[in-house]
Structure formats: structure tokens, C-alpha cells
Amino acid sequence: MNKGFSPMGGRGGFAPTDNGKAPETETKKDYKGLFKRLSGYVMREWHLFFLAILLTFLSNQLALLGPLYSGSAIDAIVAEGGVDFPTVWDNIFKMLSCYVLSAVLSYLLALLMVKLSQRIIRTMRKELFTKISKLPIPFFDKNAVGDIVSRMSYDIDTINSSLSHDLVQVMTSLYTVIGSAIFMLRISKPMMLIFVVTVPITIFFTRYRTRKVRPMFRERSKRLGELNGYAEEMLSGQHTIRTYGREKTISESFNGHNAEAMQATYRAEYFGGTLGPSVNFINNLSIVLVTVLGGILYMYSQSGAIMAGTAFFITLGGVAQFVQYSRKFAGPINEFANILHEFQSAFSAAERVFRVLDEPIETPDAEDAVTLEKVRGEVEFEHVTFSYIPEKPVLKDFTLHVKAGQTVAIVGPTGAGKTTVINLLMRFYDPVSGEIRIDGHPLKDITRESLRRAFTMVLQDTWLFYGSVYDNIVYGKENATREEVKKAARRARIDSFIEGLPDGYDTLITDDGVNISKGQKQLITIARAMLSDAPMLILDEATSNVDSRTEKKIAAAMDALMRERTCFVVAHRLSTIENADLILVLRDGTITESGTHGELLSLGGFYASLYNSQFK
């Protein structure tokens, strides 16, 4: 895909593209806003989400009871008077029951979160695709197709990973930390003073580190999007690349993009990955201090230096309980630090997705916009000026009056503004100044749907989708009968080719029609246009991909197609427009010559020189 060209074949002027890359506004990331928006998607499935919270509560509560029974069993072992076996076995049974039930509930929670995340991602992907279908053409001029696809696939998959796994971890960690802290306070308040020191150190270090890592994940998403965009562009242009022997050049260029993406990913993953081990070290240090202090307090308690019932008194079972709870307390903090860089990645991906969702759609139709009905096809351009880039007009004071049923051909050098006229007529863009009218109605006062339904188009850049030949032809008129489709194919001189295919009209066209020639693809699009009953027709180099002999064969069919319709023909082959009612010569955005073929030849101007260069 040629970046920066107008959408109708790329010859009507340049749109601003920043070298083909989507403009990325480097602003401070609003994490609270991103979290709020993602939470909105989660709350759409509130029943599943609250069930997940309930399972989290039950699973972790059972897991937190395990150390309690473990400590009671230890105290029963070291009790005065010998081992109290009934108490030991009772506590062991309770401890095992808690852990088994907790594991079962955790498994159910994991399954539930997969279902929840998939529903959320389905909704998000649907909204993203729907939004893309409503975006104006300039958006696609400024953004690489591969980058858009990357947002729909890689970025949303990244969000899915966080929702299905990391969100469970966060909920689990939060409950475990709070529950463990409550149990530890009940066991020994003095030993909790260790965490008063280590937890703030962990928090401050984590905040400092994440601020450093944030821009790295943003850069990673950006580089991966650019890599996908470049790969899509190069893969779609393999014929041209091999024709000019540029395989080595594009491979080197791809390696450059790949290296940048790898470097950005490495930096993000490396510096993000160091956060977990660093926090783990601090947490392990706290557990060592807990074990040492617990041992000291236990020895003093046994010696009688610390009286039972005081805050410093602790049993061996209490020390064991506290150590286990301290591991549960520190473990989730460490896990949270480990997944924090995954959240960074998810937020960067979400930002890219939301940036598309926040793109302004096409200007809505006016409230009193009219629906075109019984279109005659009278078209007027009145002093129209237009530019893709400010202060660089493509059309300058363009004025034209086309009567209903007339055929108007537009010729001129590359970049003269020929296709821009079509873009404005279809209202892919709006003029900077001036006005365009159809049957006396300004385009801005007409609904876009009825405006575009009034046209049928055959473009130089043919587009076929994955489906049967029949589906691709009937695309122009969904309620057409099979006989009408076959009649259109016969008029386009493509029927014999179609009937010779393995499955005839039911033969699948794959990957934008790579299994058929360009000329055959164009004939199918011509058949599609012939099937349409739209009152106006746009032909943009409609026979550029067929040979001269085939062109002559379908000339009569094209004449029939154009009959009694208002037609706009953008042509380089002047032989195809000799019978046009009006020929316009566009140069530098202005009409320099106009008239019939004979009149323009007699003028001896640019058109005459162009015609003579082709035929003499």
C-alpha cells in the first residue's frame, strides 16, 4: 500500500503521513484513566467478575487457614506432657482439607477468568473493528495497515493476557497480603515492626523502578507496530520487489526495523524483569529478620523472661505460623512486582487501542440531511479549493457543471488532482472552501449513505475479498439473482473464464484474488459495477489492467454501462475517452483546457500533445 496517497489509487495528491508512520503523540500516560476504561469493560461482565471475587475470597481464606492449623499442630507436638496425637491429626486433617479445597477453587477461578477475559476481548475487538469501519479515509492515509492490524491482534492479545492471568494474581495478592497481615498482628505485634521498615522500602523502590520502565514499554509497542506495518507493506509488494531485485535491500531494511523492535523489547523486558528479583531480595531479607527475631522471642518465652499473655510472648507454633504468614505476605508483593511490568505492557497496548477508539469518526450527517432519491445525476463544483496539507492546495478554485447523463473525462499529469476530484465527490474529504452539489443539494446536506449508494465505481486498484466469484460480483447488488450475475459477467467478457474455473461461480478467490490475474480481477470488478443500478458511475483507469484486445471487446459493454448515467472517468489511455461529452485537462489543480476530443485536438494544447504522444 502506498502510504500518503489518496485512497482512490494514489494519484490525486499527498496526504500528510510523516513518512508513512502514524503520528504518535508522546504524552504522559494517564494510567488512572486507562485503568478506569479497562474496568468499564470488566464491569460489563459484572456477574462473572463478582463470582471471580467470591472464588478469590474463598480460595485465599482457606489457604490462609492452613498455617493456623499447622502452628496448632506444632504446639500439640511440643506440648508439656507429651505429644497430643488427636489434636495433631485433627489439625493436619483440617490443614490438608483447606489446601485441597483452595486448590480446587483456584482452578475454577482460573477457568472463570479465561472465560471473562475472552468475553471482554471479544467486546473490545468488536468495538475496535466497528470504530475502524467508521473512521474517515484520512485516517487510513496516515496509518500503516500493518500497524492497525497489530493493534487488533498483538495489542488486544496483550491486554487479554493481563486480564486472564495478571488480574487474578492481583486480586489474590491483595487479599493474601491483607489476610496475612491480620493473622500476623494477632500472633505477634512486635514482629510486625519488621514489615513497617521493609514494606515502605519495597513500595518506594517499585514506584521508582516503574517510572523508569514505563516509557520503555511504550516504545516497545510503537516499534512492534512499525515492524508489522513494514512487513505487511513489503509482503504485499513482492512482485515489484522481485522485479527490481530489491530483496537484499528490503531484507536489510527489515533487519533494521527488527533490530529496533528487538532492542526496545529487550530494554523493556530487561529493566522490567529486574524489578521482581530486587523486590524478592527485600522480601527474603524480611523473612530472615522475622525468623531471627521469632527465634529470639521464643527462647526468652521458654526461659520465662517473657511472661505468657504479654505482647512479646510467643510459642514455637506461633513462630512457625508467623513465618508461614510472612512468606504469604511477602510472596504476593514479590509476585505483584513480577507482573507489574506485564501491566506496563498491557497499559501501553491499551493506550494504542484506545487511541484508535478515540479517533474522531467522519463528521456526522447534518440533522436535516436529505436522502438522495430518484437521482438525476446533475453535479456542480463551485469554486472548490482543497489541500491535503495546509497551504499546499491540490485543487484551486475548481468549477464544473455536469449535466445529468453526461460523461466527463479527467486527464492530466500525475499529481494534478484528478483522483482528488473523485475523493471530494464521494465525500471522503470535504473541500476547504467552495461547494459541491448533486441535483442542487450541497453534499454536506446529503446523507453519506445515500450519496455513496448513488455511485458505482471501478478503480485501477481492484479489490476482491475472500469468497466465491459469485459473492464478489453480487457485492454490488446484494439482492441480485444468479441469472443477473451471469448476465453481468457476460457483458464484462469474463463469463467464459469463470465457467472454466473448477467450481465455476462458486470458486473461491483467496487472499485478495492472488489465484487469478490482475486483468481477470478487474473484469470481475467491472461485472460488479455492471450489476449495480446506481445512477452515477466512476471509472478510475477501469481498464488499465486488461490488454488492448480485451479492452476493445468490453468497450461496447462499457458504453452500455455508461449509457444514461452521469459518468466521471479518470483516464491515462486517451483512446477510452474519445467519446466523452466533456474532457477536462487538469494541471496543478486547475482546469487548463476543456471540451470534446475533437475540440481539444484542434486547440493544439496539452491534450493534443498528450494524445499525439500516445498515438503518433
3 state SS for 49-118? HHHHHHHHHHHHHHHHHHHHHHHHHHHHHCCCCCCCHHHHHHHHHHHHHHHHHHHHHHHHHHHHHHHHHH
Rounded to 5 degrees, what are φ and ψ at 515? -90, 5
pLDDT of residue 114: 85
Residue 26 scores a pLDDT above 60: no
Q: Which of 205-209, 374-378, 388-392, 552-556 has the lowest mean pLDDT?
A: 552-556
pLDDT score for 328: 81
Check residues 150 and 555 and name the one with the higher pLDDT.
150
Averaged pLDDT, 540-561: 70
Instruction: Say if CB 105 and CB 55 are below 8 A apart.
Output: yes
Nearest CA-CA partner of 451 in 471, 479, 423, 477? 423
Residues 269-312 pLDDT 10s: 777 777 777 777 877 788 788 888 888 887 877 777 777 777 77
Using pLDDT thresholds of 50, 70 and 90, give the confidence band for residue 14: very low
Query: Taking each helix axis from N to C terminus, what angle separates 316-357 and 85-134, rounded to the nearest 10 degrees?
Result: 10
Residue 460 is predicted with a pLDDT of 74
Between helices 189-236 and 316-357, what is the axis angle to 10°? 30
Give the model confidence (pLDDT) of 481-535 as tens digits.
Answer: 889 999 888 888 888 888 888 888 898 887 655 567 777 888 888 888 888 888 8
Strands 455-458 and 536-540: parallel
Q: Pick from 353, 346, 352: which is nearest to 129 by CA?
A: 353
pLDDT tier at 100, thresholds 50, 70, 90: very high
437 — pLDDT class (breaks 50, 70, 90): very high
With residue 436 as reference, give the H or E element that holds it: strand 433-438
The torsion angles phi and psi of 569, rounded to 5 degrees, stand at -120, 115
- Over residues 368-392, the mean pLDDT reads 87
C-alpha cell read off for 550: 480485451
**Angle, helices 85-134/31-43, rounded to nearest 10 degrees:** 100
Contact 462, 513 (CB under 8 A): yes
Nearest in space to 207 (alpha carbons), one of 102, 308, 336: 336
For 553-593, write each residue's pLDDT tens digit. Answer: 667 667 777 878 899 988 777 777 888 899 999 888 888 98
Strands lying side by side in the sheet with 590-595: 455-458, 536-540, 566-570, 407-411, 582-587, 590-595
Residue 12 predicted with pLDDT over 60: no
Helix pair angle (482-491, 548-562), 10° resolution: 130
Residue-level pLDDT at 559 = 76
Write out pLDDT tens, residues 63-94.
Answer: 888 888 888 888 888 766 677 788 889 989 99
Percentage with pLDDT > 90 across the chain: 8
Residue recorded with cell 478469590: 56
Any idea which of 283-297, 330-344, 424-438 has the lowest mean pLDDT? 330-344
The pLDDT of residue 11: 35
